[in-house]
């Protein structure tokens, strides 16, 4: 046969040369398959591909047929040298180009051709070594790109061929290396891994790996990777455990750790750890690891590696293994049910509460009955044949896709006759205001004599009495509940000795029933107390044991002061009566008031008066006296007074005496007898910024290592119970330096404390009453501390999978010593803060039937500034039910009845008999003329609610800001009142708040999941709030806006959830259905306004998608059933902001109250947008508001899905270096164990101690 004429290489460029060679090779395949010609052409192609990268690119470029020609030749040729040439060419092509070129080879059927070639070559005896090396090398590189490679290799019998090659050539490292690489690829398929294990591949790997050696390190590394892949199969892992290989792996690891001084073989050490990680996924593997002293070995070796940053992957993997193998501990409780019990009037038929009541008493609901059932599971014998069927795109099945279900269907749900029971809550729609006296003001010239002033004011009093008929006087205090013992303003320490000018012994005693006249403030100066009494009744003052009636002249003087106060409210700004904290200033301290060596003018007197019912008792303080400070009093007071200038122009809302009186009538399940100092003293925002905490590198693994030390060095653990609600008779010895704890006060939550080490304590939270979970909210007292000592607190039974504590949030602390030094505020404290999965197991009863779940730990370290202080810690700024009642009474007693229509009703009583307040706020009509009354009654309604979840205290602070703004003298507030009538339920879950629950009411259910079918006996507040809305719909006074205030634990900023059919359908990727939906986009207008006006608000975090799991929430039900288009949930962060004015700062009560006020401003702007003809707007404002409307009509970005508990998916990087039950083996990057803050989160971070003062 004639030889083909080869083109002259010198006359062609390299590109045309390779094209010509490929064309010639293709011609050889089809016309004259001559071995010598094919050998010659392929050798030329090999030379070009080895020498020039552009040739490799040309052959693998899109549209090139080069690879097809090579594969066709490889499939058809019988010549060994031609085969080797083509294999070498393919190795060159895929070795440099990465995954794209390997995928191209797979797409052209390369793996099937190579597997067939491997099968054919294996039939020769002996098989050609070079051919086997090249084929295995190619398959090891292309196999991972072929989704069906596992099935193909098993069907072709390639597994046995490769395994036999390794067995027969253990000393031939050049051949064994690519064979091991291919075995690793085979093992990624679970069926193949089982098959290989049965054929002795695990035992074979242990013949290759061994102690430290400088030889064959590459082979050792590949063998370890292959072993780790094989051991992911439970069958293989079980085989390795049975043969004692866990101990072998630990021995090998220690040997490599000891000899690898220069850390050049870190990958080998990590490979051993990966094998251990795989085998310890099995219960038997974990037991073998513990028996082989693996915990101590890995702990010691990882501690040796901490000094070298490049060894972090070893530390992280060791930590992961140790956390897996740490024996699951029982939570040290008798039951996971709440320590308090409340008998429900009705037991639900189904649901978690029904299961709780039906649980047999002999069942231990704390222990985890999970026995690692994976030991009994059978290996999967089949695999998914077509992985393309798996939808790789994220799909949220929770999104409602049925448009018929999405469309609002306004329906009353209850007969109109039944709804008429709510008619009495709408006096504003029936009152004719005949008592209005026009121009009910008196201008009093300053030159008027005192006699004339007195006469004129007497006349004014008669007029003002008529005006007062419009204002609703404060309600009498509710009936007493749990009148068990005296209320104590709390104690946790030893009573100090009586010393002059120090904290007196009277602080501990029961408060005497009467005060001496000389110690009581004149009644006509104490307007807040006076307003509680009826104006028509004689004013009683107590003097010793005698009562006397105030003379008529004194009574008149008191009324004159009231009248002057009214004049001030009407004609100008009212002078602030006390410190901004809301704590009443009193220059005449009571007999039993707290005294100290320096004056504290902002602190209210204790007012220890014996009232009817329970008596109030101030507990002993733990400190012996108030520490002196270098700063003088004037400097401290001046900074505080500067704060008061910025306060709202109205009477401060905090009154300590009033608070104590209200507490006595608050009904709780446990019989609280104490008042927490922060609630008694009050809180003001600190005058400095509190940056989001910068997280130190390695803090989580350090904490985990300390936890592991508990198992390794058990003798160092104290394990002493320091506080226990389940054993109220348990007393802690007074001696010693241990901390003392307390949570027996309103909203308190701390169930048990165990001292672990000298300065470390495990804390266990109480579950919600009638529930066995929801552990997140905490509020407790600590005393008996020393200065200069770092105390570590571990809250060990949290349940959420992540927390903002991992991203810069700090817990809050309130120091009584600081409060007595004119600093009565909650501050963010704590270092070394992190949130991670721990070794305490959750029973399936507590985990909704899921087995093997673990609790999570919040850990933080605090150094106290004062010795023997009384400090309080809280999850977020506390806001109790009694605080709300106090604020409402102060608002009611201080408002201007000529301007503000304010009415407080009781919507209903809760399960425990507490009242649920309902507020009505609007502007008084200008007169009782017909047109003014009509305008008044036709004002649109705004319906607001808050605090359905007790642990979301930030929602109450936002509501406080809203209420204060609505009741203020601000001109915009007055315009807002003239525009709307506000119906407000400021606390939907009083019982949950009072009893320290995190999420539920006393029914043990999340009230925000009961709006579809609320039970009047179990969910009275929701039943009647919904009934109120249904009545408003029935009388054609549908609210323009409904907003439910909430708090968010896993996102930053403030944002809203709304309801939109179009956006919900749009997220189902059903574009056709989305285009057919016609919807008013006005639901976006209010959030858009807030994004422009409220610094903490973030529009990009807002969502308007309706989820199936949220169908029974207030937002969705009010939208769908009541027909309110602008129905929202407004979520406020518990942490801080990552955008806007407050970027990098933790959120405080100042910002939360500002958000409440800005929400009101947003409503005012919304009114101007919805009623433009009523306002003459400047052009610039019109352009701005038009822009709002236009931008609100565009769906710009995907909405964050809401997955659980009103919480969207947590998008920030999760900082877990270990999961107890990981099945997916993810290659750990070097920094996996520690979260490094992004530039945005790092912007304003600072250490806890450095506080930047506000200008």
Element (H, E) at 173: helix 173-187
Give pLDDT, residue 482.
40
Reported confidence tier of residue 33, pLDDT bands at 50, 70, 90? low
Query: For 1033-1071, what is each residue's pLDDT tens digit?
Result: 999 999 999 999 999 998 999 999 999 988 888 876 655
Reported confidence tier of residue 615, pLDDT bands at 50, 70, 90? very low
**CB-based burial of residue 817 (10 Å sphere; 0-12 exposed, 13-18 middle, 19+ buried)?**
buried
Reported confidence tier of residue 1075, pLDDT bands at 50, 70, 90? low
- Strands of 589-675, DSSP E: 616-618
Reported confidence tier of residue 45, pLDDT bands at 50, 70, 90? confident
SS3 of residue 147 by DSSP? coil
- Radius of gyration, CA atoms only, the chain: 38
Residue 192 has pLDDT above 90, yes or no: yes
Residue 1230 has pLDDT above 90, yes or no: no
Higher pLDDT, residue 656 or 1250: 656
Query: For 1196-1207, what is each residue's pLDDT tens digit?
Result: 333 333 333 333
Higher pLDDT, residue 658 or 487: 658
The least confident of 131-145, 552-566, 718-732, 929-943 is 552-566
Residue pair 873/780 in contact (Cβ under 8 Å)? The answer is yes
- Residues 6+ positions from 681 with CB-CB distance below 8 Å: 581, 583, 603, 604, 656, 816, 819, 824
Residue 635 has pLDDT above 70, yes or no: no
> What distance in Å separates the CA atoms of residue 220 and residue 547, rounded to the nearest whole number?
96
Query: For 1135-1159, what is each residue's pLDDT tens digit?
Result: 999 999 999 999 999 999 999 999 9
> What distance in Å separates the CA atoms of residue 492 and residue 509, rounded to the nearest whole number?
15
Residue pair 900/1172 in contact (Cβ under 8 Å)? The answer is no
Element (H, E) at 514: none
Higher pLDDT, residue 1246 or 737: 737
Reported confidence tier of residue 359, pLDDT bands at 50, 70, 90? confident
**CB-based burial of residue 251 (10 Å sphere; 0-12 exposed, 13-18 middle, 19+ buried)?**
middle
Give pLDDT, residue 698.
86
Element (H, E) at 720: strand 720-724
Residue pair 834/699 in contact (Cβ under 8 Å)? The answer is yes
Query: For 733-779, what is each residue's pLDDT tens digit?
Result: 776 789 999 999 999 999 999 999 999 999 999 999 999 888 999 99
Query: For 1090-1147, what is each residue's pLDDT tens digit?
Result: 999 999 999 999 999 998 888 899 999 999 999 999 999 999 999 999 999 999 999 9
- Give the DSSP letter of residue 919: E
Higher pLDDT, residue 774 or 463: 774
Residue pair 764/780 in contact (Cβ under 8 Å)? The answer is no
Give pLDDT, residue 297.
95
Instruction: Give, in degrees to the nearest 5, the angle at Cα 847 between 841 and 848.
Output: 155
Give pLDDT, residue 1150.
96
> What distance in Å separates the CA atoms of residue 910 and residue 990, rounded to the nearest whole number?
7
DSSP for 454-479 reads HHHHHHHHHHHHHHHTTSPPPPPPPP
Reported confidence tier of residue 377, pLDDT bands at 50, 70, 90? very low
Average pLDDT for 270-290: 94
Give pLDDT, residue 246.
95
Query: For 873-887, what is each residue's pLDDT tens digit?
Result: 999 999 999 999 999
**CB-based burial of residue 927 (10 Å sphere; 0-12 exposed, 13-18 middle, 19+ buried)?**
middle
Mean pLDDT score of the chain, rounded to an integer? Answer: 76
Evaluated on CA atoms 889, 890, 893, 897, the torsion sign reads negative
Alpha helices in 923-1060 (DSSP H): 930-937, 954-966, 971-979, 990-994, 1020-1034
SS3 of residue 407 by DSSP? coil
> What distance in Å separates the CA atoms of residue 602 and residue 596, rounded to the nearest whole number?
13
Residue pair 757/718 in contact (Cβ under 8 Å)? The answer is yes
Average pLDDT for 942-947: 98
Query: For 792-812, what is each residue's pLDDT tens digit?
Result: 999 999 999 899 999 999 999
Give pLDDT, residue 125.
83
Give pLDDT, residue 1173.
53
Closest CA to 745 of 867, 639, 619: 619
The DSSP bridge partners found for residue 873 are 780, 813
Residue 270 has pLDDT above 90, yes or no: yes
User: Residue by residue, what is the 3-state secondary structure of 787-828?
Assistant: CCCEEEEEEEEECCCCCHHHHCCCCEEEEHHHHHCCCCCCEE
Residue 520 has pLDDT above 70, yes or no: no
Instruction: Give, in degrees to the nearest 5, the angle at Cα 895 between 889 and 901.
Output: 100
> How far from the centroid of its chain's Cα atoms is residue 1206's Cα?
10
Query: For 59-117, what is each residue's pLDDT tens digit?
Result: 777 777 888 888 988 888 888 999 999 999 898 888 766 677 888 888 889 999 999 99
Residue 1172 has pLDDT above 50, yes or no: yes
> What distance in Å separates the CA atoms of residue 954 and residue 142, rounded to the nearest whole number?
56
Give pLDDT, residue 183.
94
Alpha helices in 1146-1204 (DSSP H): 1149-1170, 1179-1192
Query: For 841-883, what is each residue's pLDDT tens digit?
Result: 888 776 666 777 889 999 999 999 999 999 999 999 999 999 9
- Residues 6+ positions from 441 with CB-CB distance below 8 Å: 567, 570, 571, 898
Residue 521 has pLDDT above 90, yes or no: no
Instruction: Give, in degrees to the nearest 5, the angle at Cα 951 between 950 and 953.
Output: 85
Question: What is Dmax (Cα atoms) for the chain?
Answer: 140
- CA distances, 101 to each of 21, 26, 56, 161, 1003 (Å): 21, 21, 10, 26, 63
- CA distances, 1096 to each of 1090, 1131, 1137, 1196 (Å): 9, 11, 7, 21
Give pLDDT, residue 1134.
96
> What distance in Å separates the CA atoms of residue 429 and residue 996, rounded to the nearest whole number?
38
- Give the DSSP letter of residue 760: E
Instruction: Give, in degrees to the nearest 5, the angle at Cα 588 between 556 and 493.
Output: 135
- CA distances, 673 to each of 228, 467, 495 (Å): 60, 41, 18
- CA distances, 255 to each of 210, 223, 969 (Å): 9, 17, 78
Phi, psi (5° rounding) for residue 180? -65, -40
User: Residue by residue, what is the 3-state secondary structure of 221-284?
Assistant: HHHHHHHHHHCCCHHHHHHHHHCCHHHHHHHHHHHHHHHCCCCCCHHHHHHHHHHHHHHCCCHH
SS3 of residue 1101 by DSSP? helix
Share of the chain above pLDDT 90, in %: 50
The pTM is what?
0.75
Average pLDDT for 655-662: 93
Give pLDDT, residue 467.
39
Residue pair 792/364 in contact (Cβ under 8 Å)? The answer is no
Residue pair 68/62 in contact (Cβ under 8 Å)? The answer is no
Closest CA to 148 of 390, 382, 384, 389: 384
Residue pair 1163/978 in contact (Cβ under 8 Å)? The answer is no
- Give the DSSP letter of residue 378: P
* Structure-derived torsion over alpha carbons of residues 567, 570, 576, 578, reported in degrees to the nearest 10: 60
* Structure-derived torsion over alpha carbons of residues 431, 432, 437, 440, reported in degrees to the nearest 10: 50
Higher pLDDT, residue 69 or 1193: 69
* Structure-derived torsion over alpha carbons of residues 1214, 1218, 1222, 1227, reported in degrees to the nearest 10: 80
Give pLDDT, residue 675.
95
Give pLDDT, residue 402.
64
> Active-site residue numbers?
1131
> What distance in Å separates the CA atoms of residue 359 and residue 200, rounded to the nearest whole number?
49
Give pLDDT, residue 867.
94
Higher pLDDT, residue 571 or 714: 714
The DSSP bridge partners found for residue 916 are 908
Average pLDDT for 32-49: 83
> What distance in Å separates the CA atoms of residue 725 and residue 1100, rounded to the nearest whole number?
44
SS3 of residue 404 by DSSP? helix
Q: How far apart are the first and last CA of the chain?
A: 97
- Residues 6+ positions from 1148 with CB-CB distance below 8 Å: 685, 686, 690, 877
> What distance in Å separates the CA atoms of residue 883 and residue 547, rounded to the nearest whole number?
31
Higher pLDDT, residue 432 or 763: 763
């Amino acid at each position: 046969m004639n030889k083909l004429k080869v083109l002259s290489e010198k006359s062609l460029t390299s590109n045309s040369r390779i094209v010509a060679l490929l064309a010639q090779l293709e011609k050889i395949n089809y016309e004259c398959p001559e071995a010598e010609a094919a050998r010659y052409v392929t050798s030329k192609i090999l030379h070009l591909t080895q020498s020039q990268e552009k040739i490799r690119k040309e052959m693998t470029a899109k549209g090139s047929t080069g690879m097809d020609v090579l594969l066709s030749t490889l499939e058809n040729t019988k010549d060994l040298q031609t085969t080797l040439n083509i294999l070498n060419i393919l190795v060159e092509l895929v070795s440099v180009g990465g995954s794209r070129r390997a995928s191209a080879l797979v797409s052209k059927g390369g793996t099937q051709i190579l597997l067939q070639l491997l099968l054919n070559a294996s039939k020769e005896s002996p098989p050609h070594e070079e051919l086997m090396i090249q084929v295995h090398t190619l398959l090891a590189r292309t196999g991972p790109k072929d989704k069906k490679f596992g099935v193909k290799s098993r069907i072709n019998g390639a597994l046995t061929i490769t395994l036999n090659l390794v067995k027969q050539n253990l000393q031939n490292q050049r051949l064994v290396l690519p064979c091991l690489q291919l075995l690793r690829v085979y093992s990624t398929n679970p069926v193949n891994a089982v098959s290989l294990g049965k054929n002795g591949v695990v035992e074979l790997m242990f013949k290759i790996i061994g102690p430290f050696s400088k030889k064959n390190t590459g082979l050792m590394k590949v063998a370890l990777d292959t072993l780790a892949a094989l051991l992911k199969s439970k069958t293989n892992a079980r085989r390795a455990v049975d043969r004692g290989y866990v101990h072998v792996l630990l021995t090998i690891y220690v040997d490599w750790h000891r000899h690898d001084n220069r850390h050049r073989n870190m990958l080998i050490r990590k490979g051993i750890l990966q094998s251990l990680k795989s085998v310890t996924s099995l219960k038997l593997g974990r037991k073998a690891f513990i028996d082989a002293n693996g915990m101590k070995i890995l702990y010691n070796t990882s501690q040796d590696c901490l000094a070298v940053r490049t060894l972090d992957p070893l530390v992280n993997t060791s930590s992961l293994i140790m956390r897996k193998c740490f024996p699951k501990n029982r939570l040290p409780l008798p039951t996971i049910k709440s320590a308090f019990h409340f008998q429900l009037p009705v037991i639900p038929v189904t649901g978690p509460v029904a299961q709780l009541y039906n649980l047999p008493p002999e069942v231990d609901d704390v222990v985890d009955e999970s026995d690692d059932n994976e030991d009994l599971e059978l290996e999967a014998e089949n695999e998914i044949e077509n992985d393309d069927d798996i939808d790789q795109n994220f799909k949220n099945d929770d999104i409602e896709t049925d448009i018929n279900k999405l469309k609002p269907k306004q329906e009353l749900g209850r007969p109109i006759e039944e709804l008429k029971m709510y008619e009495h809550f709408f006096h504003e729609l029936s009152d004719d205001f005949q008592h209005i006296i026009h121009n009910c003001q008196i201008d009093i010239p300053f030159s008027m004599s005192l006699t004339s002033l007195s006469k004129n004011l007497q006349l004014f009093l008669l007029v003002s009495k008529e005006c007062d008929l419009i204002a609703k006087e404060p309600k009498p205090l509710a009936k007493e509940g749990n009148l068990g013992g005296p209320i104590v303003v709390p104690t946790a320490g030893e009573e100090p000795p009586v010393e002059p000018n120090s904290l007196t012994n009277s602080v501990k005693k029961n408060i005497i029933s009467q005060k001496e006249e000389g110690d009581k403030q004149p009644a006509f100066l104490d307007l807040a107390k006076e307003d509680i009494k009826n104006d028509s009744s004689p004013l009683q003052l107590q003097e010793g044991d005698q009562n006397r009636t105030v003379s008529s002249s004194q009574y008149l003087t008191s009324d004159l002061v009231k009248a002057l106060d009214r004049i001030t409210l009407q004609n100008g700004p009212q002078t602030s009566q006390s410190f901004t904290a809301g704590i009443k200033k009193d220059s005449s301290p009571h007999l039993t008031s707290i005294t100290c060596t320096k004056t504290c003018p902002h602190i209210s007197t204790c007012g220890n008066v014996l009232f009817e019912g329970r008596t109030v008792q101030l507990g002993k303080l733990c400190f012996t006296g108030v520490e002196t400070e270098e700063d003088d009093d004037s400097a401290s007071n001046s900074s505080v007074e500067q704060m008061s200038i910025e306060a709202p122009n109205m009477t401060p809302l905090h009154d300590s005496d009033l608070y104590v009186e209200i507490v006595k009538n608050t009904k709780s399940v446990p019989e609280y007898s104490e008042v927490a100092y922060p609630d008694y003293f009050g809180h003001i925002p600190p005058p400095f910024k509190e940056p989001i905490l910068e997280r130190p590198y390695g803090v989580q693994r350090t904490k985990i290592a300390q936890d592991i030390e508990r198992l390794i060095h058990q003798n160092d653990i104290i394990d002493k119970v320091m506080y226990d609600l389940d054993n109220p008779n348990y007393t802690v010895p007074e001696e010693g330096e241990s901390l003392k704890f307390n949570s027996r006060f309103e909203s308190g939550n701390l169930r048990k404390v165990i001292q672990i080490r000298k300065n470390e304590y495990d804390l266990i939270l109480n579950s919600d009453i009638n529930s066995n979970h929801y552990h997140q909210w905490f509020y407790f007292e600590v005393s008996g501390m020393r200065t200069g000592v770092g105390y570590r607190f571990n809250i060990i039974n949290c349940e959420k999978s992540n927390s903002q504590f991992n991203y810069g949030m700090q817990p809050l602390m309130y120091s009584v010593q600081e409060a007595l030094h004119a600093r009565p505020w909650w501050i963010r404290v704590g270092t070394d803060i992190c949130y991670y999965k721990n070794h305490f197991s959750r029973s399936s009863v507590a985990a909704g039937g899921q087995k093997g779940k673990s609790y999570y730990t919040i850990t933080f370290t605090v150094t106290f500034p004062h010795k023997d202080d009384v400090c309080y810690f809280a999850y977020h700024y506390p806001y109790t039910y009694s605080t709300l009642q106090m604020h409402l009474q102060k608002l009611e007693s201080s408002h201007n009845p000529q301007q503000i229509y304010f009415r407080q009703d009781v919507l209903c009583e809760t399960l425990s008999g507490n009242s649920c307040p309902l507020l009505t706020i609007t502007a008084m009509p200008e007169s009782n003329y017909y047109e003014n009354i009509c305008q008044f009654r036709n004002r649109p309604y705004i319906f607001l609610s808050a605090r359905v979840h007790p642990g979301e205290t930030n929602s109450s602070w936002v509501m406080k800001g809203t209420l204060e703004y609505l009741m203020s003298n601000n001109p915009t507030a007055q315009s807002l009142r003239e525009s709307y009538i506000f119906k407000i339920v400021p606390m939907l879950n009083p019982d949950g708040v009072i009893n320290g629950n995190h999420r539920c009411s006393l029914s043990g259910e999340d009230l925000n999941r009961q709006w579809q079918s609320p039970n009047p006996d179990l969910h009275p507040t929701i039943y009647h709030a919904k009934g109120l809305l249904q009545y408003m719909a029935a009388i054609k006074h549908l609210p323009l806006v409904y907003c439910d205030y909430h708090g968010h634990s896993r996102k930053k900023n403030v944002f809203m959830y709304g309801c939109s059919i179009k956006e919900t359908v749009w997220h189902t990727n059903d574009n056709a259905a989305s285009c057919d939906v016609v919807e008013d986009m006005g639901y976006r207008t209010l959030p858009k306004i807030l994004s422009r006006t409220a610094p903490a608000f973030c529009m990009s975090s807002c969502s308007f998608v309706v989820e199936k799991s949220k169908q029974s929430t207030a937002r969705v039900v009010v939208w769908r059933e009541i027909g309110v288009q602008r129905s929202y949930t407004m979520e406020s962060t518990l942490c801080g902001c990552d955008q806007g004015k407050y970027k990098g700062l933790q959120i405080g009560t100042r910002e939360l109250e500002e958000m409440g006020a800005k929400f009101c401003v947003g409503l005012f702007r919304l009114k101007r947008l919805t009623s433009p003809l009523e306002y003459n707007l400047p052009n610039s404002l019109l352009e701005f508001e038009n822009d709002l409307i236009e931008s609100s009509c565009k769906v710009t970005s995907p909405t964050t899905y809401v997955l659980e508990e009103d919480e969207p998916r947590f998008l920030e990087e999760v900082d877990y270096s270990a999961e107890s039950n990981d099945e997916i083996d993810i290659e750990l990057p070097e920094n996996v164990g520690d979260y490094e803050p992004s530039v945005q989160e790092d912007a304003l971070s600072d250490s806890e101690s450095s506080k930047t003062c506000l200008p």
